[in-house]
Amino acid sequence: MSFVGGTIDFIKVKIFKTRKKMCMCDMRGMYRWNFWGKCRICYRIFAWIPVLFILAVVAWAYYAYVFVLCFTVVQERWIAALYMVLFHGTLFPFLWAYYQVVMRNPGEVPTHFRLSAEACDRMQGMNTVADQNRFLNEIARGLPLITRSFEENVRFCEICAHIKPDRSHHCSVCGTCVLKMDHHCPWVNNCVGYANYKFFILFLFYAFVLCFVVGLTVLPHFIAFWERTGLSDPTSTEPSPGFGSRFNILFLFFVAVMFGISVSILLSYHMHLVSRNRTTLEAFRPPVLSSGQDKHAFDLGCLRNVEQVFGPTKLMWFVPMKTCAGDGVVYPTRAGVRVTTYASMEDGAQNPLHSDSYGGSGDGVGRLDSSRYDTAPLTNGAALDTGLNAVVIDSTVNEDELVDEINALTVEDLNNECSTRLMKWMNYLDVDPTMETELHTFPEVFDLPEQSQLRKDCAEAVEKLGNEDEDKVSVLSDLESILSCYCKQHEIPYSTSNGWLDVILPLISLKASKYELYAMFSSMMERYVPRDCSLKGKPFHLFRLLLLYHEPELCSFLDSKKILPDAYAMQWFRTLFASSTALSVIQNVWDYHFRQEDPFFLFFLALVLLMNQKGAIHDFQGASDGLVDLIVGIPSGVCEDDVEDLCALAHYYSVKTPHSYWNEFRYIFNREIRFPDETALPVELNLAQALCMPVTVKELLTSTLLVRHVGGCSERPRFFVVDCRPADQYNGGHLPTAFHLDADLMLQERNAFALAAQGLLTAQKQAIAANSVAGGEHLCFMGSGREKEDQYVHMVVAYFLQKNCTFVSMLVGGYAALHDDLSENLSGGLKNHNADACIICLSEETTARTKGKRMGSSGAVQTSTSSNMSTLFDKIGSAVKSKSSEVKKQLVDYITNPTGTGSTVDEKVKHVSPRDKIGRMYRGMASVFTIGDDDPDEEGCGVSGDNDDFSAPEIVSISTWIAKPDVVGHFQCHEIKPNGHLYEATLLVTDTHMYILRKSDRDNDEASISVRRALSSVLRITSRKKQPEMITFRYGVREGENFIITDMDRLIIPKVSEATNLIKSKVLECTEGLDAAEAHRGAEARAKSPT
């Protein structure tokens, strides 16, 4: 394979050098490579034929409309004059736009993008394509480039011998590269690009208007000629138009209609592209950024997109003069898009598996790399060829360089004027000072319901600034206008607690204009302030997950004090820490925050502030309110010298956080995404119910692949996967790197589970020390993906969180999601996968069989007898299987103890009434309800809670049964089956019976009666000291004076004390009733006896 690869690489280099020899002569002033050779002159001549055809059609149309229609056909002079005005009023701008699009240069690549002669010679001397790409990357460092090729290399034109600017392409017809090339149009004999795209749109627009005017005005005469009648007065003696006039009018109408339809279709398509800020080439092949392909990379919103082509002045939009924005080389990108220049790459960043450390915007101002924090999935690097559609994400950042960057930024901002910071912040926030904002059209009507409170708060804020009296009036007016306009435009009521004034005051210190202030304030609120920032809001649930992931001990301590993040972080998030931080400090923090272009960085700043004061929080002895005040005031203690450490630590913890934190919860900041329906979300992604940090299957597989192929050098989180499914499910297929920890073990054997958990942590440390593929400091627990079965898994996760284990996460969707993602390559992605044992494969097969049975149930009537027989045999078989574990236990007991003593199944218990004094049941024995560490019959009674008959489970309504008059109590519980499965259920108690209604998956109110027991058959109710909520009911039958245990049910009842007291009292009442009835029957028998 190495020989083949080397041969291919050698061929590429030879082709590359050959093309370079042909194309680089133009740079030395000798000659340009002529693709068409001597036929080039002929092509140039023939290329003008479509243009001449258009001009010829226009010339003929002018003759037909002016000289034939207006001068000959139309008899009324004023109508002819009106036609002339309309025609010439549209013809003139049409010809002007057509001239501009034909003669205007579409945009030449600047000379500083061309390679020098020495650079060309140096490239020709390189032997590998990789060396040439590295050489081009070095040259591109000084150029404002954010797009790249599909191979993640510099876009280089081999014919023109220069690096391609963003959105530029080479036109094979024109033989040159064109800035923002849209397409080559033969009808204008020119490329349509940056400099003439506006003229092309206007050419289409005025052509459509011209065709519309001609068609509309010619239509009545066309109809008249078609009917062979004139439009003039019938009594007129003037001659009617001849054949020549009639032919010109008819043909003019057909030409106008056909050209109008064609032009309208093309115009509508290009207007769609303009509204998306997209070219024709980009519509078919989206541009490639450092974060991957993004067809919306340059989409700034409909209005701003139009202004990019037609300019900011709306009055000039319809004038065929150049008013387009920019220089054709640098283009703004939409908010949240990663913009990384080659100038910002570290040495060695050419490795496609390494992300860039710094980025830039093309204006010469470098930006810290935001690839680590993009809210959209990142594709920085080549995807590994594994068939898993893995996305390679990396965040390699040198912390020393990070601190130096912060230091340099801080010193520069302190020494320069406010205008420097203003320009930078406007650049970071994508604020264009030439663009109109909502404030420009604000009517200055201050009629908000909260207007008086708003004006009062603005006045208090202005007093804090300490300006002169003359300036105070101006600042107060600007503040009120900005906030009032923002309230009306976004339909948000004003409140003092929303923190808007705290956000806008640091912006005022930059001495920006009123409109710049509004634009920056709006951008900050839209990008960096979380949505739903209210009590029990989603941002606070999300922050708690982050705190629990990195500092579970501190999170548990605050939870124990009932202090949730919304109690102390509300103003932090609403004001971006401006409410409790000095001006100089918050400006430096915002410098770094805005450069990151990561709104989630706010959470990591808050995390570092909390962790830094962990000791003070634990040592606080006062009430909870005082502790809240202590936490709220933490940012006020940050000084300027602490900013670099604060930001560096926040960045460190962001690197240690799974990327799913950004990808799955981006709706917290992205206002274009609706809040998801929480009822339809997996429990791992439901912020109000999530137990720990969620990790998606895609990220887990990507992490595993990176470790396997890169050797563990990536800084992204590495996961130690813990498979918590039962052993039979684990053996049916699992990840090769997964550690098996059966969650059922926690419920059955606590001591064994504790030993297994300790072994898990030891294995994790050994795997990390050995740099194993399975090693990782981040624990990722995986369940089956079924909510009811995964409740044990949640208990396991809670166990590790209680042990204050950091980096605890849970796989979203569990094994079911993993199985679905690897469905096309199960044998390669899963180890020991067995379709006959895999629960997902079996469920799919069962579903298919069920559908087949439903389809077959509508067959002929004569098959009913055989079906009933089959159902009967099925019931008998299931009954035999259900009793197999009990029979097996009895057989083992007989083999090990032939005398029969000590058998748990055949154990005979005396069941007496409390009134009996001699020889009655329960006398001298343990109570019906006992608590102990051991469960003597745990293994002996393997059958649980099914009806004794063979009838199918009865489907009932839970609410209806609870409302029955004979129901004396009902309790929510979970039913535990012998196979370890857990089912949500409701326990109902009457005077004589107890029922367990197992809830249906389809309807919360629908259930099946899984257990129906007579209270008189209850022999023993047991519980464990360590798990008092788990109750075991044992039932038996009477044999003379004794009872034999025959069956059992096991439940987890949250209200265990209330439930057992009620059941015990009812059992005793039933027992007393039975004893009384028995005594009565005995008395009657004695009365009837002759003795």
Q: Which residues are part of the catalytic machinery?
A: 185
- What's the distance, CA 588 to chain centroid? 30
Non-local CB neighbours of 888 within 8 Å, separated by 6+ positions: none
Residue 781: phi and psi, rounded to 5, are: -90, 140
Non-local CB neighbours of 644 within 8 Å, separated by 6+ positions: 403, 406, 407, 410
Q: How many helices (H) and strands (E) does the chain have?
A: 38, 25
CA distance 380 to 1007: 50
- Is the distance from CB of 183 to CB of 192 less than 8 angstroms? yes
CA distance 689 to 541: 9
Identify the residue whose tokens are 């204006």: 363
Residue type, 95: L
CB < 8 Å & 24+ apart, contacts of 385-390 = 386/705, 387/824, 387/825, 387/828, 388/701, 388/705, 388/821, 388/822, 388/825, 388/829, 389/698, 390/698, 390/701, 390/702, 390/705
Which value, in Å, is the radius of gyration of the alpha carbons in the chain? 40
DSSP 971: E
At 614, list the tokens.
């962990």
- What is the per-residue DSSP string for 603-636? HHHHHHHHHHTHHHHHH--S-HHHHHHHHHTGGG
Non-local CB neighbours of 207 within 8 Å, separated by 6+ positions: 94, 259, 263
Strands 183-185 and 190-192: antiparallel
Residue type, 385: D
Torsion sign, CA atoms 446, 447, 449, 452: positive
Return the half-sphere exposure (C-beta side, CA atoms, 13 A cut-off) of residue 41. Answer: 1
Helix, strand and coil content of the chain, in percent to the nearest 5, comes to 50, 10, 40
Reported as type and span, the H/E element at residue 863 is none
Reported as type and span, the H/E element at residue 969 is strand 967-976
CA distance 631 to 567: 9
